[in-house]
Amino acid sequence: MCDTLIAAPNVTKNQLALFAKNSDRPPNEAQFLDWVPEKTYAGGESLRCTYIEIPQVQHTNAVLLSRPFWMWGAEMGINQHGVVIGNEAVFSKVPANKEPALLGMDLLRLGLERAQTTTQAVDVIVELLEEYGQGGNCVQDGHLYYHNSFLIADPVESWVLETVDRHWFARQVNPVYTISNLLSLENRWDRSSNGLEDFMLDRGLIRDKDQINLAADFSDLIFTTFADGKSRCSRSLELMLRDTGNISVQTMAAILRDHGENPDPRPGLAGADICMHASLGPIRGSQTTGSMIASLEEGKPAVFVTGTAAPCTGIFKPVWVDAPPDLGNLPTGKFDSETIFWAHEKLHREVLKNYPARAAVFQGERDLLEAEFIEGAMALRDGSVEERKAYSETCFLKAAEIENGWLEQVTKLPVKQRFLHALAWDGFNKKADFV
């Protein structure tokens, strides 16, 4: 489960578009911050995506990605031109394809590597979708199949693209919009695949081409309901609207950390928050495993990433596509303290043992440190590549050091866990050889 947000320049504090996303996936499915440089290829080369090969293009953009360690594609990312994309799992009455094809995450990365604007990214994704389809298992441990929606933005415009099998529909959105694990475009779209209405008629999804509601007609009621995307969309939209005209990076960070009105987000076996915490599955088996915020200034977008699970226990650090710091080793599904993701899990999983008391230890310091990082990054907007890279590395090192201090403090507080929640995390920990 995931949540993706966009705010246009006319509603933000600095008059720059702001994008944000939480990626929710199985708790041990570590995400990796991956920087891939731009590259020119010889003609006739092929590209291996997660499951299938497709022809490579002549030139690809530099991209900064947050991707699950086992797949080629990414949950979210940004390219050198300031195009940013986040995707969402959506569930339809039309069964998702289980045969290997392009994952939605592959389509996301391909859009970033091959497009210079939002509209180009929409074109790239829909052309590849129509030619190769989407499909295949979407998780590393277990089985999950779904269609995808995308929020695609650049400094100038934003589009929502929603897909069902090889069909698609898209709409330009402004000034704020959020997507989650549900189809949202209903009876308003600007572009769509050829034959969409006939496809819906043939499948018995509609009786009249003049009475189409894409969300209602396509959505699978059971999966869409239990994914709880509607309530999360409403919540994230409400929080952005509260701050309209003053939306900032800090606003987006606070939204990505939101647990609604619940001071303790751990125990429930159903439901979902924007900042998602796993419990006993299968309904609540997902965890926010990566978070990203992008300030889309033309020519020099600044990105803020946790590189870790649970943004409420992590720190957003600045990075730039043209000045990537050392992003560490590739993690796996097993504990490895030498990776950014797993090093933070020591703190995250200790906090979960008594969330209200243990999170309170560091929340104030976290917000102050993050504000310092953001202010420093914005002051370096015109800095050299070397200056910005050095600043990113300093922020990552400082964050790691401070998190180690928080870990010492939280472990001094008593453990207060409910039985089923503790049972779930004992299982996650054993699978990951977590120590």
Enumerate the active-site residues.
2
Chain mean position to CA 399: 21
Map tokens 């999804």 to a residue.
205
Map tokens 């991956």 to a residue.
34
Angle between helix 385-410 and 340-351 (nearest 10):
30
Measure the CA–CA gap between 300 and 295, rounded to whole angstroms: 9
Contacts of 12 (CB under 8 A, 6+ apart): 18, 246, 247, 248
For the chain, how big is the Rg over CA atoms in Å? 21
Dihedral angle sign, alpha carbons of residues 405, 408, 412, 418: positive
Cβ atoms of 112 and 63 within 8 Å: the answer is yes
**Sheet strands (E) in 222-266:** none
Give the DSSP per-residue string, 177-227. EEE-SS---TT--SEE-TTHHHHHHHTTS-S-TTS--HHHHHB-HHHHHHH
